[in-house]
Amino acid sequence: MIRLLNTKTIAGIRYPAGSIAIFDTQTESQLIATADADRNIDFAIIRTLPTLVAQSFAGWSRSSVNGAGDQSYIVIASIIVPHGLMGLNSKLVIIPDWDTPSSTSTKYLSVDFGGQNISAPTATTSVMGKILIEIQNLNSLSFQKTMNGSSYGLSSNARIATSVDTSQDAAIDFKVKWGTATAAETLTLLGYSIWHYPGN
């Protein structure tokens, strides 16, 4: 874990000066050697502050082919949550930002965590959507409940239960499909933000 002293773009992600981040040992050593980072971190504060795990607005798309394959999920972006990031009572907040065409076709905009689905809202005539998804470790490194499969606020739907071992690397996959073969449409993940909120 390092503190960036200068604003840097690393693996396509911009980190402002003052950011606290975890990279592989080689990357951290290079940043320290070039005086772009140090290890002078106040861990008493760090344990309580949210940290940005990943954020990008590079944009990823999938276009329909008017065939049976349109009804199968395709992962258009994937992010690895590093092992050990989540504690017993911490949570991840995932905010995908979607663009969709307004049409009668049903479009599925889904997110998986560790291979288990945690969000699958559908869209027809909506042209955009921003979803806030919270995954909470429930006093365990391998048992979570997720608030918000499709919207945020009061819900008559039960929380989504998952059993992802967060002591290991876990993928967050953004995937899309259509309900039927669909002609000439494009679904776009404009971008995403993923935050970690430490727990006690």
The pLDDT score that the predictor gives to residue 148 is 64
What is the spatial distance between Cα 176 and Cα 187, in angstroms, rounded to a whole number?
7
Burial class, 16, CB count within 10 angstroms (exposed 0-12 / middle 13-18 / buried 19+): exposed
- The answer on 104 and 37 residing in a single domain is no
On the question of pLDDT at 156 being above 80, the answer is: no
- The answer on 129 and 193 residing in a single domain is yes
- The answer on 68 and 14 residing in a single domain is no
Given a contact cutoff of 8 angstroms between Cβ atoms, the answer to whether 181 and 70 are in contact is: yes
**pLDDT band at residue 171 under the 50/70/90 scheme:** very high
User: pLDDT tens digit string along 125-144?
Assistant: 999 999 999 999 999 999 99
Claim: this prediction has a pTM higher than 0.85: no
Average pLDDT, the chain: 90
C-alpha 8: how far from chain center = 21
- The answer on 64 and 37 residing in a single domain is no
Lowest mean pLDDT of 11-25, 34-48, 104-118, name the range. Answer: 34-48
Give how many domains the chain has, as a whole number. Answer: 2
Top mean-pLDDT range of 8-17, 35-44, 101-110 = 101-110
The pLDDT score that the predictor gives to residue 155 is 74
What does the pLDDT average to over 4-11?
A: 90
Find the domain containing 96 and state its range: 51-197
What does the pLDDT average to over 48-63?
A: 92
On the question of pLDDT at 96 being above 90, the answer is: yes
- In the chain, which ranges are E strands? 2-4, 8-10, 13-15, 20-21, 37-38, 51-56, 60-63, 74-81, 91-99, 107-113, 116-119, 122-123, 128-130, 133-137, 144-147, 160-162, 170-178, 186-197
- Give the residue among 20, 38, 40, 19 at the shortest CA–CA distance from 30: 38
Question: Any idea what the CATH number is for the domain that residue 132 is in?
Answer: 2.60.120
On the question of pLDDT at 89 being above 80, the answer is: yes
- The answer on 120 and 42 residing in a single domain is no
Given a contact cutoff of 8 angstroms between Cβ atoms, the answer to whether 113 and 170 are in contact is: yes
**pLDDT band at residue 21 under the 50/70/90 scheme:** confident
Q: What percent of the chain has pLDDT over 70?
A: 94
- The answer on 72 and 22 residing in a single domain is no
Instruction: Give the three-class secondary structure for 180.
Output: coil
